[in-house]
């Protein structure tokens, strides 16, 4: 029976598999095998023992390890015993010179590598969707809003390109943090490597080479958790971008705005009591889950403040933080890409909202032109501001009010004013900016 929603409601099968109990066990076994080979390469254990461990370790079972743990109340030692049982005489060399977190943290590094691979793939897919939509809509003029109020025009293409640029930076961040996060260690009980002898550092390097991952320069009994905190802060940053996109879609789908809409299935139900409803439930889900992902940051930072060479306060919360934050981030990335792929764009509503203020929101355009033609910038701002306030208060056309201002007309004719208040002509370099983003990032997307 499922207890947590990530067991049956949220998450992809591939990310769940990364953080599953079964894969965790497999990564621990892989770390122990890599340790045996590394020690054999340095003459610390017989080469034939390492080969036998490699041959037999995969026969160890999670179920047997759980039985042993029930008897001895130590999860890592239970796995060591379970592996040793299937490795014959060579089992005596399992875990030689290591302490629990040498293996457990190294196994976490393997899981993080797989996790980052999946997140990277989904970030690149999302980037591809955003670039496609930005290209499709780069000339689609719409009203921009600041403080929730109508401003001068923008384009939908520019909005999508801004999101694409942000996702591009997340891809950069992922590549930058990967070598700091995907690491293992072999430093022994308190970090001195005393049990491993004079070739300890060479053994550590060989073990991590065997696993295809980085090696720490120094550690105590555990890998310093600033590395993992960076991972969680990265996930939180990604989730916040997805939250931002979700909020914008929800805002633009409001009935009175109606510019976009999540795809709605033929048989989909919006409300149990209001049959007409078409709700942005996927975007709402993204925004809600982003709060959970961000909540991982504080305990992840706290996990770096352990006593002396280590305590165990990090262990319990990491068992929750890693799978939960990773699975939910992966889930939200897939969901956002799906929403944006199917997003319905209502061009009629976009046009209606663009012209809603009958040019009053275009006041900046007139002010800039008046200044360019010789009027003092501050005077131009005040004249246009006063006319705009009057137009709003009296529900009048800004063009009519400005055309009646002799000082304004001295610089701009009535025809000029009408042209300056036309929104399609005031989108600046929006199209060029979209083209630049597409050229820069097209090679990064799937």
Given a cut of 70, whether residue 433 has pLDDT beyond it is: yes
Mean pLDDT of 130-141: 98
Segment 68-94, tens digit of pLDDT: 999 999 999 999 999 999 999 999 999
Mean pLDDT of 104-131: 98
Average pLDDT taken over every residue of the chain: 96
Mean pLDDT of 277-301: 95
**Residues acting as catalytic residues:** 147, 271
Given a cut of 70, whether residue 271 has pLDDT beyond it is: no
Given a cut of 70, whether residue 353 has pLDDT beyond it is: yes
Q: What pLDDT score was predicted for residue 70?
A: 97
Segment 159-184, tens digit of pLDDT: 999 999 999 999 999 999 999 999 99
Q: What pLDDT score was predicted for residue 264?
A: 79
| Total count of domains within the chain | 1
In a domain? residue 129: no
In a domain? residue 234: no
Mean pLDDT of 415-434: 97
CATH number at residue 399: 1.10.40.30
Segment 188-240, tens digit of pLDDT: 999 999 999 999 999 999 999 999 999 999 999 999 999 999 999 999 999 99
pLDDT-based confidence at residue 268 (cuts at 50, 70, 90): confident
pLDDT-based confidence at residue 273 (cuts at 50, 70, 90): low
Q: What pLDDT score was predicted for residue 8?
A: 85
In a domain? residue 378: yes
In a domain? residue 10: no
Mean pLDDT of 368-384: 96
Domain residues for 390?
360-420
* pLDDT above 70 as % of the chain: 99
Given a cut of 80, whether residue 354 has pLDDT beyond it is: yes
In a domain? residue 109: no
pTM of the model: 0.95
Dist. CA 228–CA 222, nearest whole Å: 12
In a domain? residue 310: no
In a domain? residue 377: yes
Mean pLDDT of 270-284: 81
In a domain? residue 399: yes
Segment 2-43, tens digit of pLDDT: 888 888 899 999 999 999 999 999 999 999 999 999 999 999
Mean pLDDT of 265-281: 77
Q: What pLDDT score was predicted for residue 290?
A: 98
């Amino acid at each position: 029976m499922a207890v947590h929603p990530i067991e049956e409601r949220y998450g992809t099968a591939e990310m769940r598999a990364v953080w599953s109990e079964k894969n965790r066990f497999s990564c621990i076994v892989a770390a122990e095998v890599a340790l045996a080979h590394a020690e054999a390469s340095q003459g610390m254990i017989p080469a034939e023992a390492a080969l036998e461990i490699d041959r037999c370790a995969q026969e160890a079972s999670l179920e047997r390890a759980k039985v042993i743990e029930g008897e001895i109340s130590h999860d890592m030692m239970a796995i060591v015993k379970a592996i040793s049982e299937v490795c014959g005489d060579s089992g005596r060399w399992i875990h030689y010179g290591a302490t629990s977190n040498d293996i457990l943290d190294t196994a976490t590094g393997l899981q993080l590598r797989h996790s980052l691979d999946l997140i990277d793939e989904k970030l690149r897919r999302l980037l591809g969707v955003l670039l496609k939509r930005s290209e499709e809509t780069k000339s689609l003029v719409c009203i921009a809003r600041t403080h929730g109020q109508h401003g001068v025009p923008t384009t939908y293409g520019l909005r999508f390109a801004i999101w694409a640029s942000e996702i591009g930076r997340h891809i950069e961040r992922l590549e930058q943090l990967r070598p700091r996060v995907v690491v293992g260690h072999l430093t022994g009980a308190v970090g001195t490597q005393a049990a491993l002898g004079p070739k300890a550092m060479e053994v550590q390097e060989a073990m991590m080479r065997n696993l295809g991952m980085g090696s720490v320069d120094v550690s105590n009994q555990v890998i310093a958790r600033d590395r993992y905190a960076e991972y969680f802060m990265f996930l939180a940053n990604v989730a916040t971008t997805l939250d931002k996109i979700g909020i914008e879609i929800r805002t633009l789908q409001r009935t009175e705005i109606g510019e976009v809409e999540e795809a709605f299935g033929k048989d989909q139900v919006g409300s149990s009591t209001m049959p007409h409803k078409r709700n942005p439930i996927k975007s709402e889900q993204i925004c809600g889950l982003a709060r959970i992902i961000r909540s991982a940051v504080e305990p992840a930072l706290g996990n770096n403040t352990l006593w002396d060479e280590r305590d165990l306060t990090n262990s319990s919360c990491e068992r929750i933080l890693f799978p939960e934050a990773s699975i939910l981030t992966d889930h939200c990335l897939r969901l956002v890409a799906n929403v944006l792929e199917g997003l319905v764009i209502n061009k009629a509503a976009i046009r209606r909202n663009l012209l809603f203020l009958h040019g009053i929101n275009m006041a900046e355009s007139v002010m800039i032109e008046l200044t360019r033609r010789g009027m003092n910038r501050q005077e131009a701002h005040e004249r246009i501001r006063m006319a705009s306030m009057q137009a709003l208060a009296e529900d009048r056309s800004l063009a009519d009010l400005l055309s009646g201002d002799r000082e304004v007309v001295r610089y701009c004719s009535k025809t000029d004013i009408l042209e300056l208040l036309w929104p399609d002509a005031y989108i600046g370099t929006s199209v060029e900016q979209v083209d630049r983003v597409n050229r820069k990032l097209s090679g990064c997307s799937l």
